[in-house]
Structure 1
Amino acid sequence: MDQLLQHIANALILGGTYALLGIGLTLILGIMKVVNFTHGELYSFGGFMAYFFVSALGWNFFLAMAVSIMLGILLGACIERVFLRRMRNADIDSTMIVMIGCWIALQNIALLIWGGVAKSVPTPFSTEPLIIGPISISWLRVFVLGAAMILILATYLLINKSPLGKAMRATFQDRETASLMGININAIYTVTFALGSGLAAAAGALLGPVFVVTTTMGNMAALKAFAIVILGGLGSIPGAAIGGFILAFAEELGSGYVSSGYRDAMGFILIILVLMFKPTGLFYVRGERIG
C-alpha cells in the first residue's frame, strides 16, 4: 500500500505537466487544424531557457521560469506569423511538411547551441523531502504540481471566461462565420499558437529541473502530447487535462508493477485500447465547443 501511494503521488506530479502539453496541443489542433510537429521542440526550448537563465546568468529561479514561458509564447507567435500564416489556405500535406521542417530546424539549432550533453538546472529548494505518512516528495516536485495546476486553471478561465476565449471558441466552431462577425482570424490563430507553445515551454521549464535538459527531450514529449489529445478528445481542455493525468498514472503504475523499461510503452498500450473502443477520445462530445 505504501508503494502504491508513492506511485500515485508521483503520477499526480507528472500528470500536471503532461496536462499542459496536451492542452497546448489540443488548442492548436482544434482551432487551427494544424498538426504541430514543433510542440516537442517548444517543450525542450522551455527547459533550455530555464537552464540558461538560472545556470548561465544566475537569475532567480522563479523569474527564470516566468521568462522561459514568455519566450515560449513569443517563439510560438513567430513560428505562426512567419511560417503558418503563409500556409493558411494550403493543403494539409504542405502544412505538415513545413511543420516537420521547423521541427528538424529547431532541434538542430538547439544541438548547435547547447551541444549533446545533458544539462541540469539548479533549484533553490531544500533537498529534504516533504514527508506525508508513507509518501516522500521533494519540494521541487510540489512546486511543479502547484505551478502546473495554476497554469491549467488560468488557461481554462481564459478560454471560457474572457472575450478572447469567446472569440477562440467561435473560431473553433465556424471560422467563416466568426470572420463575418468581425473576429480577426489571423490574430486568433497567432494567439492560439502562441498560447499552445507557451504551455509546452512551461512543461519543459518545470520538468527540466526535475530531470535533465537535452536536445532530444522533446521527441518523446511530442508523442505523449498527441497521445493525450487522443485520450481526451479533440477540442476538450478538461479532456486534455484529465488525459494527461491518465497517461501519467498508466506510466507510473506500469513502471512500478510491470517494468520500468516498459514505462513509455504502457501509455501507448492505453492509447491503442482507447482507439479500439472509443476512437473520438474518452471525453469527446459531438458538436462540443472547445473549452
Structure 2
Amino acid sequence: MDQFLQHIANALILGGTYALLGIGLTLILGVMKVVNFTHGELYAFGGFMAYYFVSHLGWNFFIALPTAIMLGILLGALIERLVLRSMRGADIDSTMVAMIGCWIALQNISLLIWGGVAKSVSTPFPTEPLMIGSVAVSWLRLFVLVAAIGLIIASYVLLQRTSLGKAMRATFQDSSTASLMGININFIYTATFALGSGLAAAAGALLGPVFVVTTTMGNLAALKAFSIVILGGLGSVPGAMIGGFILAFAEELGSGYISSGYRDAVGFILIILVLMFRPTGLFKPRGERIG
C-alpha cells in the first residue's frame, strides 16, 4: 500500500504538467485549427530559459520561472505573427509543413546554443523530502504540483470569465461570425497561440528542475501532448486536464508494477484502448464550444 500511495503522489505531480501541455495544445488546435509541431520545442524553451536565468545569471528561482513563461508567450506570439499569419487560409498540408520546419529550426537553434549535454537547474528547495504519512514527496515536486494547478485554474478562469476567453470560444465556434460581430480574429489567433505556447513553456520550466533539460526533451513531450488532446477530446479544456492526469497515472503505475522500460508504452496503449470505444475522446465540448 505504501508503494501504491507513493506512485499516486508521483502521478499527481507529473499529471499537473501534462495537463498544462494538453491545455495549451488543445487551445491552438481548437481555435486556430493548426497542428502545432513546435509545442515540444516551446516546452524545451521554458526549461532552458529557467536554466539560463538561474544557473548563468544567478536569478532567484521564483523570478526565473515566471520570466521563462513570459518569454514562452512572446516566442509563441512571434511564431504566429511571422509564420502562421502569412499562411492564413492556406491548406492544412502547407501549414503542417511550415510548422514542421519551425520545429526543426527551433530544435537546431537550441542545439547550437546549448549543445547536446544535459543541463540541471538548481533550486532553493531542501533535499530532505516532506513525509506525508509513509509517502515521501520532495519539496520541489510539491511546488511543481501547486504551481501547475494554479496555472490550470488561471487558464480555465481566463477562458470562462474574461472577454478574451469569450472571444476565443466564439472564434472556435465560428470564426466568420465572430469576425462579423467585431472580434479581431488576428489578435485572437495571436493571443491563443501565445497562451498555448506559454503553458508549454511553463510545463518545461517546472519539470526542468525535476529532471534535466536537454535539446531533445520536447520530442516525447509533443507526442504526449497530442495524445492528451486526442484522449480528452478536441476543444475540451477539462478533457485535456483530466487526460493529462490519466496519462500520468497510467505511466506511473505501469512503470511501478510492470516495468520502467515500458513507462511510455503503457500510457499510449491506454489511449489506444480508450479511443477504440470512444473515438471522440472522453470529453466532447457541448455545442462545439471550447472550454
| 2:216 equivalent in structure 1 | 216
Counterpart contact for 2:236–2:284, Cα < 8 Å: yes
What's the CA shift for 1:286? 5.4
| 1:17 equivalent in structure 2 | 17
Q: Return the alpha-carbon distance in structure 1 between the equivalents of residues 248 and 187 of structure 2.
A: 34
Counterpart contact for 2:17–2:148, Cα < 8 Å: yes
Q: Return the alpha-carbon distance in structure 1 between the equivalents of residues 280 and 152 of structure 2.
A: 22
What's the CA shift for 1:245? 0.2
Structure 1 residues 167-189: Cα deviation after superposition (integer angstroms, max 9, x where no partner):
00000000000000000000000
| 2:53 equivalent in structure 1 | 53
**Aligned ranges for residues 1-291 of structure 1 at < 5 Å?**
1-285=1-285, 287-291=287-291
Structure 1 residues 31-88: Cα deviation after superposition (integer angstroms, max 9, x where no partner):
0000000000000000000000000000000100010000000000000000000111
Q: Return the alpha-carbon distance in structure 2 between the equivalents of residues 96 and 106 of structure 1.
A: 15
Q: Secondary structure at the match of 1:281?
A: coil
Q: Return the alpha-carbon distance in structure 1 between the equivalents of residues 31 and 280 of structure 2.
A: 17
Q: Secondary structure at the match of 2:122?
A: coil
Q: Secondary structure at the match of 2:131?
A: strand
What's the CA shift for 1:283? 1.1
Q: Return the alpha-carbon distance in structure 1 between the equivalents of residues 270 and 67 of structure 2.
A: 35
What's the CA shift for 1:250? 0.2
Q: Which amino acid aligns with 1:130?
A: L
Q: Which amino acid aligns with 2:26?
A: T
Structure 1 residues 152-197: Cα deviation after superposition (integer angstroms, max 9, x where no partner):
0000000000011010000000000000000000000000000000
Q: Return the alpha-carbon distance in structure 1 between the equivalents of residues 70 and 211 of structure 2.
A: 22
Q: Which amino acid aligns with 1:95?
A: T
Q: Which amino acid aligns with 2:145?
A: L
Q: Which amino acid aligns with 1:82?
A: L
Q: Which amino acid aligns with 1:148?
A: A
Q: Which runs of 5+ in 2 are unaligned?
A: none
Q: Return the alpha-carbon distance in structure 2 between the equivalents of residues 58 and 146 of structure 1.
A: 24
Counterpart contact for 2:235–2:285, Cα < 8 Å: no
What's the CA shift for 1:239? 0.6
Q: Which amino acid aligns with 1:135?
A: V
Q: Secondary structure at the match of 1:287?
A: helix
Q: Which amino acid aligns with 1:193?
A: F
What's the CA shift for 1:285? 4.1
Q: Return the alpha-carbon distance in structure 2 between the equivalents of residues 65 and 245 of structure 1.
A: 22
Q: Secondary structure at the match of 2:97?
A: helix
Q: Which amino acid aligns with 2:107?
A: Q
Q: List structure 1 segments (4+ residues) > 2 angstroms apart after TM superposition.
A: 285-288
Structure 1 residues 109-160: Cα deviation after superposition (integer angstroms, max 9, x where no partner):
0000000000000000001100011100000000000000000000000000
RMSD: 0.6
Q: Return the alpha-carbon distance in structure 2 between the equivalents of residues 288 and 135 of structure 1.
A: 42
Q: Secondary structure at the match of 1:131?
A: strand
